[in-house]
A and B are shown apart, each in its own frame.
Chain A
Amino acid sequence: MSVTDLRRAGTALTALGLLGLAMVYGLSFFWVSTESSQGIVQRIFYVHVPAAWTAFLGFAIAALASGMYLWLRDERFDRTALCAAEGGMVFATIMITTGPLWGRIAWGTYWTREPRLTLTLLMWFIFLGYFLVRRSSDSPERGKRYAAVTAIVGATLIPFIHVSVLWFRSLHPQPVVMRTDGGPALPGDMLALLLTSVAVFTMIFAGLFMLRYALEGLRHQVDMRGRAAAA
């Protein structure tokens, strides 16, 4: 896929995703029913859960691409990891800022030392480190290798974050969609809106990932021109 094609596809997906996000917001306020025990604040769920899913998707892609980069030393994998990690950080930031807003009403506190929250914050810091480590070395190649290892270490937390509410005594709500003992435990309208929101967030991530990858492609062209001019 050429840079131009990537930009076209990325722009179209992002525009569709942003329209979808406006629709999700509208449906969240005017269509879906209110959860009886939590009230209106439960609506944060339609942003928080899709953001978490998208962040995990971004970090998982970053880790996979980093592994491939360490194995094959192909620059395209490093670029993929960088773009996915950047998207993962954006959505992880949405996740860890919207969660406490829900927690303040539901639990009476913004934050508590609790396994899922602590592991998620740790993963966020590890991926923050990913960007710092890339620039920490005089040798760009070494920086990329260190960053790749950091991404893999960060992503190993994803399964632990998922099962932490099952393995440990946890304040965080149990899974309501990907449950181990049966299907989703949500009323139809809430499940429909949640899945729509997950699809919309994934679409926005995919669109912006393509645009971000196109940007890295153009930067690569600039570097190649600079090297050719210097030689």
Chain B
Amino acid sequence: MNRLERAIVALAPIWLALAPSATAAQAAAQEIGGLRAYWHVFIAYTIAIALVLGWVISIARRLRDVEERLGRG
């Protein structure tokens, strides 16, 4: 067996354990809210990560500016 085949064999039990719950999870969702519900979930998750990353970037920029000022002084 090559490396790829060994990886597939190793991951197969994990996939088999997760697949039934994932399939069942998607099946129930078809009835309530339809595709629009998926969009709302994606938008909510995007807002969360965007705001967190925005705060990360904002702090990083301000840190860089202050360090430059300290370096000049």
Q: Any chain A CB within 8 A of the CB of B37?
A: yes
Q: Are A33 and B25 in contact (CB under 8 A)?
A: yes
**Stretch of A59-67, A115-123, A167-175, A217-225 with 4 or more beta carbons under 8 angstroms from chain B:** A217-225
Residues of A within 8 A of B21 (CB): 31-33, 189
- Cα distance A153–B39 when bound, in Å? 37
Q: Any chain A CB within 8 A of the CB of B12?
A: no
Specify the chain B residue showing the minimal Cβ separation from A225.
B73
Q: Are A98 and B48 in contact (CB under 8 A)?
A: yes
How many of A's residues come within 8 Å of B, CB to CB? Answer: 47
Q: Any chain B CB within 8 A of the CB of A198?
A: no
Q: Are A105 and B40 in contact (CB under 8 A)?
A: yes
Q: Any chain B CB within 8 A of the CB of A127?
A: no
Q: Are B66 and A94 in contact (CB under 8 A)?
A: no
**Interfacial residues of chain A within 203-231, with CB under 8 A of chain B in the complex:** 204, 208, 211-212, 214-215, 218-219, 221-222, 225-226, 229
Chain B binding site: helix, strand, loop or mixed by DSSP?
helix
**Interfacial residues of chain A within 20-53, with CB under 8 A of chain B in the complex:** 21, 25, 28, 30-34, 36-41, 43-44, 47-48, 51
**Interfacial residues of chain B within 39-73, with CB under 8 A of chain A in the complex:** 40-41, 43-45, 47-49, 51-52, 54-56, 59, 62-63, 66-67, 69-70, 73
Q: Any chain A CB within 8 A of the CB of B1?
A: no
Interface string of B17-38 (1 = CB under 8 A from A): 0100110111011011100111
Say how far A85's CB is from chain B's closest CB, in angstroms: 13
Q: Any chain B CB within 8 A of the CB of A93?
A: yes
Q: Are A44 and B40 in contact (CB under 8 A)?
A: yes
Q: Any chain B CB within 8 A of the CB of A154?
A: no
Q: Any chain B CB within 8 A of the CB of A18?
A: yes
- Cα distance A29–B48 when bound, in Å? 16
- Cα distance A222–B43 when bound, in Å? 40
10 contacts between A and B (CB under 8 A): A21-B49, A33-B25, A34-B24, A47-B48, A94-B48, A101-B43, A215-B66, A219-B66, A222-B70, A222-B73
A residues whose Cβ falls under 8 Å from a Cβ of B: 7, 14, 18, 21, 25, 28, 30-34, 36-41, 43-44, 47-48, 51, 86-87, 90, 93-94, 97-98, 101-102, 104-105, 189, 204, 208, 211-212, 214-215, 218-219, 221-222, 225-226, 229
- Not counting A21-B49, A104-B40, A208-B56, a sample of 4 additional A-B residue pairs whose C-beta atoms are within 8 angstroms of each other reads A34-B24, A40-B38, A189-B21, A222-B70
